[in-house]
Structure 1
Amino acid sequence: MPLTESRWIWTILIGLALWIASPFAVPLLAGFALALVSHPIHQLLVRRGLPIILSALVIGLMWAMVFVLPAMIVLQSVLPVVARFQSSSIPVDRILDVLKQLPVLGITVSNHADVVMDWLNQHPINKMISEVEPLAGHIAGHTLMLIVHTALALIVAVLLLIHGEAIAERVRPHLFELVGIPTMMRLEQVLVSSVRAVVLGMIALVLWEGVLGALMFWLLGLPAGMVFAIALALSSLIPGGSGIVLALAAVAAYTGQHIAYAVIILSVGHIITLSGDYLIKPAVTGAKSHAPFLIVLLSILGGVEVMGLIGLIAGPVIVLMLYGMASEPAEVMSKEVS
């Protein structure tokens, strides 16, 4: 079969395979990233005498504990808070006093206290929560899908740790034929370094929000503050997740008769999350991949905008691979031509 025809066939087959797998692109890509990051640990365990399958299962269990156990703890702690919030009743005048003390907005609230008081009387917070209860089923459905995708990502990671070498040996010759050996070797190097840089940036984001969130909740004396800190750390990986956790933490402070604490949680918490998303994560990812900060930041934002949730990983990985390939010295890239 001619080389050009073979390349066209492989390109079409790969495209069809990616299209068929697109509904599960997020867990598949997440599982690939977990396997790639865990591979050094997997090799270490195997060298220490642990069977390959058992080593992969140990790593999969480790990741399951990282994701599943904190989520279970958070749910057990948050659900009673929401139920208590729905039945709570805090005087409207107390809410108004706290609003008057807010920076910048407090002056406006004070000048229009009668209007604000009428609105609060007409819209009790617990009644507003009850009115959005139909959304609970929608949220539950998304939560179930998130659990399924997480389980699928863990399965993919374990399978790749077990069979990854064999799969690579079978696929690599065809990719060499498709794009050429020098280019493919360079693509492998850039892919590994890009994925590891992106994952390291995500880990830095989790630590940033988790540690600072725990400190904030501890200083405020919020009940179950450590649980909310864990939830804030894990939810930082999901667009909009941190805002939901901060809102629940504010609800916990509100039901504990600490309205001012609720305001602090929402304001300081969003400063923590925004600085993590737009400063810490791009800075760490760029430092690991030697890419400029602005390129990394735009790749994260653009990836989410264009590709949705999968863009959190795929967006920066694609851009960093392009940057890495473009940064290759001309004499190295010219080997394929020769």
Structure 2
Amino acid sequence: MTETQRSTLSACFSLAIILCALFVTQRFVLPLLWAAILCIATWPLYRRALRLTGNREILSAALVTLLAALVFITPLALGVIQAAHQAPALAQLVAKTNTDGLAAPEWLLRIPMAGDAIYNWWQATLGQPHGLAHLLQDGSVGRMQSASEVLKRVGSGVLHRLIDVAFAFLCLFFFYKDGHALQSQTHAIGAHLIGAQRWALYSLKVPTAVRATVNGLVLVGLAEGVLLGIGYQFAGVPSAVLWAAATCVLAIIPFGAPLAFGAVAALLLFQGNASAAAAIVALGVVVLFVADHFVRPTVIGNATKLPFLAVLLGILGGVETLGLIGLFVGPVVMTLFVTLWHEEKRFRHAGTRDAAG
């Protein structure tokens, strides 16, 4: 057997092992990715904890994991508690609307061009007794046979999500604890595959892109939700805390915040409070404009040295392809692509200089 054949066989053997490992652990790939993203984003905090605890790895990993769990789980728990408190009232409202019908508001007639059509459609559907049930009978809600089936499906989904969250934070603890060994092994494998100099260039880009994306998407989105939540409170929005929590979640996704404050404005308008609805829309537009045109491009683009279009394509393309985790994977992929683009330009320029010399 020649050396080339032996190298090819060795590469196929290694690839087969990797594919088998992915097949066996496919159910937990997503929690592992979340844990890796959290670990990379908060690694400087773990290093600071190591210094404060005298390089006690287990204690530092446990403290930072607990802190991360508190930061990420507490808002989610508050939102779930608020939703649970509001669920009976919402269920009663839906039941009453379905039983008695919901009269169309008069302001629909003032909408230019389409107002009459919307008003007539509302009266023919939602305005009639059991109109909501007829409207939803062809959808998934209409196919639910009983309340127990609904509770079973919702409970099963919540249980799976809780398992994923618990496993992600368990993995996060071990990523902190064994982080230095993982880094050393990853660097050794990367340098062996693509060369030490090239690996050093790419390996520095990934943590920067992840931290910039977390800061630019998550933290800015949470800030948007807090600011708009304060506006909801002053405007007298029912369940302002729940709407603020929903805005925080949607604001993390580009173009998601308008869905939240638009729904709040529609609720206020339906209640006859047109001035408060206009104020919420104005506040949302200002907050969104500042965040999307100044803060996010500055935080993400300056840190990763990416053009704004590349940032936007990475975020939107990642969400479209991979779901929520694509918010973080997309910008990392675009960062690596732009790095490759500049690297190829440097190679071409170097080749041109050598030829001229």
- Per the alignment, do residues 207 and 113 of structure 1 end up closer, same or farther by CA in structure 2, a change over 3 Å counting? closer
Q: Give the AA of the match of 1:17.
A: A
CA distance in 1, matches of 2:349, 2:205: 13
Structure 1 residues 195, 18: closer, same or farther in 2, change over 3 A?
Answer: farther
Out of 117, 141, 156, the residue aligned to residue 171 of structure 2 is 156
**Shift of residue 194 of structure 1?**
1.9
1:297-324 deviation digits (Å, cap 9, x = unpaired):
1122222222333322222211211212
What does residue 62 of structure 1 align with?
67
Give the total of aligned pairs. Answer: 329
- Contact 2:125–2:135 under 8 Å retained in 1: no
How far apart in 2 are the matches of 1:170 and 1:270? 47
Contact 1:30 1:153 in 2 (8 A): yes
Task: Please say if 1:183 is aligned against 2:198.
Answer: yes
Deviation per residue, 1:269-292 (Å, 9 max, x gap) = 986898699656455322321111
2:107 & 2:126 partners in 1: Cα distance?
13
Amino acid at match of 2:106: D
Q: How does 1:228-267 map to 2 (within 5 A)?
A: 228-237=243-252, 258=271, 260=273
Q: Answer yes or no: is 1:293 the counterpart of 2:308.
A: yes
- Looking at structure 2, the residues matched to 171 and 69 of structure 1 have their Cα atoms a distance apart, in angstroms, of 33
Q: Which residue of 2 aligns with 1:316?
A: 331
Cα distance change, pair 293–303 in 1 and its aligned pair in 2 (3 A): same
| Aligned pair partner of 1:30 in 29, 34, 38 | 34
Q: Indicate if the aligned counterparts of 1:99 and 1:106 stay in contact, CA closer than 8 A.
A: no
Structure-2 separation of matches of 1:171 and 1:270: 44
Contact 1:26–1:309 under 8 Å retained in 2: no
Aligned residue for 2:114, secondary structure, equals helix
Normalising to structure 1: TM-score of the pair?
0.77
Q: Is the 8 A contact 1:209 1:276 kept in 2?
A: no
Match of 2:106 in 1: 97
CA deviations over 1:11-41 (Å, ceiling 9, x no partner)? 4444443454444333211211111121111
* Structure 1 equivalent of residue 76 of structure 2: 71
**Are residue 146 (structure 1) and residue 161 (structure 2) matched?**
yes
Matched, 1:117 2:130: no
Specify the SS of the correspondent of 1:188: helix
Displacement of 1:87 in angstroms is 2.0
Change (3 A) 1:230 1:111: closer
Paired with 2:134 and 2:84, the residues of 1 have a C-alpha distance of 17
Q: Indicate how the Cα distance of structure 1 residues 46 and 193 shifts in structure 2: closer, same or farther if over 3 A, else same.
A: same
**Rg: which structure is higher?**
2
Q: With structure 2 as the length reference, what TM-score do the two structures score?
A: 0.73
CA distance in 1, matches of 2:283, 2:236: 15
Letter matched to residue 155 of structure 1: L
What amino acid does structure 2 have at the position aligned with 1:148?
I
> What is the deviation of 1:253?
6.3
AA at the equivalent of 2:79: V
Amino acid at match of 2:247: L
The structure-2 alpha-carbon separation of the partners of 1:289 and 1:327, relative to structure 1 and needing over 3 Å to count, comes to same
* Distance (Å, rounded) in 2 between the aligned partners of 1:129 and 1:219: 35
Q: Percent of aligned pairs with the same residue?
A: 23
SS of 2:125's equivalent?
Answer: helix
Amino acid of the structure 2 residue aligned with 1:70: P
Q: Distance in 2 between matches of 1:23 and 1:232?
A: 30
Q: Is the 8 A contact 2:50 2:57 kept in 1?
A: yes
Distance 1:333 1:185 in 2: 21
Computed over aligned residues only, the root mean square deviation of the Cα atoms, in angstroms, reads 4.2
Give how far 1:113 is off: 4.5
Change (3 A) 1:249 1:116: closer
Report if aligned partners of 1:202, 1:237 keep a CA contact under 8 Å in 2: yes
* Paired residue type of 1:226: V
After TM superposition, give the deviation of residue 195 of structure 1 in Å. 1.7
CA deviations over 1:101-131 (Å, ceiling 9, x no partner): 5xxx365334775554233322668757997
More divergent stretch after superposition (4-13 vs 274-283): 274-283
Unaligned runs of 5+ in 1: none
In the other structure, the counterpart of 2:346 is 330
